[in-house]
């Protein structure tokens, strides 16, 4: 946690969810309506096919809806792509950019990720920009170097606490049940804050840095209590309302 920063617990449904999954979303929204403290911001990033229905389901609740990717252009001849303006039009408030699955599956570079963050801002969305090292990079002792390179290459210099959220997601921890040690998460987040500060100065202190990678109810409290961890980006466990709510509750239990 960082004093003065509103924590964000975000779910990333990835390529999961049909219409019926919206019942789970309703349960998440109900959980935040009744009992969960408004101090924690809640967001679910759904597949584009569910965007407008998800926005409808969560209307009047504290849960925000986001998307998982956008094109850099506002409109045009890009078959199969969706622009940030279209996501905004469908009711999204946030968009994830540079997730490692997109960096791998679609060969997204830091430069492209930076352009996507700028496209998100042009459309009035907040960007959740993901970075993180692979297992090989960690084993080679290069984790912090990789994070430096990704921050310098993919974070636009006009980033502020109002338009950017950073997510540290070690690639090897995604969907594996493995998590870094508390010491490694603390070192990575402090390092990211330092690199942000070199790039954008004082605003670095305002930017939320989320941890993502195998966050679940049983480890949420430990992970979320680490210094400079301002929330979580949750994959698998965000598909189940009881798990996602239990992760959000972990924040309330922190001193
Ligand atoms: O990639 C992630 C969130 O963006 C993390 O996924 P898991 O929580 O399933 O490991």
The answer to whether residue 109 scores a pLDDT higher than 80 is yes
Tell me what pLDDT residue 255 has: 60
For residue 14, the ligand 1 atom closest to its alpha carbon is 4
Q: How many CA atoms lie within 13 A of 80 on its CB side?
A: 0
Mutate to test the pocket of ligand 1, among 127, 235, 238 (most ligand atoms within 8 A of CB): 235
213 Cβ inside 6 Å of ligand 1: yes
Mutate to test the pocket of ligand 1, among 95, 223, 233 (most ligand atoms within 8 A of CB): 233
Residue-range domain boundaries for the chain: 8-87+143-252
215 Cβ inside 6 Å of ligand 1: yes
For residue 13, say whether it is annotated as part of any ligand binding site: yes
For residue 236, say whether it is annotated as part of any ligand binding site: yes
CATH code of the domain made up of 8-87+143-252: 3.20.20.70
The answer to whether residue 37 scores a pLDDT higher than 70 is no
Tell me what pLDDT residue 36 has: 66
- Report ipTM for this prediction: 0.99
- What confidence tens digit (pLDDT) does each residue in 206-218 have? 999 999 999 999 9
**Residues marked as catalytic:** 99, 169
- What confidence tens digit (pLDDT) does each residue in 72-93 have? 999 999 999 999 999 999 999 9
236 Cβ inside 6 Å of ligand 1: yes
Whole-number average pLDDT of the chain: 95
For residue 163, say whether it is annotated as part of any ligand binding site: no
| Mean pLDDT score, 18-32 | 94
The answer to whether residue 142 scores a pLDDT higher than 80 is yes
The answer to whether residue 151 scores a pLDDT higher than 70 is yes
For residue 214, say whether it is annotated as part of any ligand binding site: yes
174 Cβ inside 6 Å of ligand 1: yes
Q: How confident is the model at residue 39 (pLDDT cuts 50, 70, 90)?
A: confident
d(CA 96, CA 115): 13
Rounded to the nearest angstrom, the distance between the alpha carbon of 122 and the centre of ligand 1 is 27
Q: How confident is the model at residue 3 (pLDDT cuts 50, 70, 90)?
A: confident
* Percent over 90 (pLDDT), the chain: 91
């Amino acid at each position: 946690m960082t004093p003065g920063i509103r924590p964000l617990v975000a779910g990333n449904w990835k390529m999961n969810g049909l219409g019926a999954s919206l019942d789970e979303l309703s349960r998440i929204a109900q959980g935040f309506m009744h009992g969960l403290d408004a101090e924690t911001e809640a967001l679910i990033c759904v597949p584009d096919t569910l965007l407008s229905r998800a926005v409808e389901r969560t209307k009047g609740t504290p849960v925000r809806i986001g998307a998982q990717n956008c094109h850099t252009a506002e409109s045009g001849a890009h078959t199969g792509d969706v622009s940030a303006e279209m996501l905004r039009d469908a009711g999204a408030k946030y968009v994830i950019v540079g997730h490692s699955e997109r960096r791998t599956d679609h060969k997204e570079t830091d430069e492209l990720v930076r352009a996507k963050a700028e496209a998100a801002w042009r459309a009035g969305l907040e960007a959740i920009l993901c970075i993180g090292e692979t297992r090989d990079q960690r084993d080679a002792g290069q984790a912090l170097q990789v994070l430096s390179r990704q921050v310098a290459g993919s974070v636009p210099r006009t980033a502020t606490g109002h338009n950017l959220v950073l997510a540290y997601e070690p690639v090897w921890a995604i969907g594996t049940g493995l998590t870094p040690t508390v010491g490694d998460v603390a070192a990575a987040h402090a390092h990211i804050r330092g690199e942000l500060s070199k790039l954008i100065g004082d605003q670095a202190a305002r930017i939320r840095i989320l941890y993502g990678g195998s966050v679940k109810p049983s480890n949420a409290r430990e992970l979320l209590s680490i210094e400079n961890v301002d929330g979580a980006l949750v994959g698998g466990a965000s598909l189940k309302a009881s798990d996602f709510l239990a992760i959000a509750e972990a924040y309330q239990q922190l001193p």
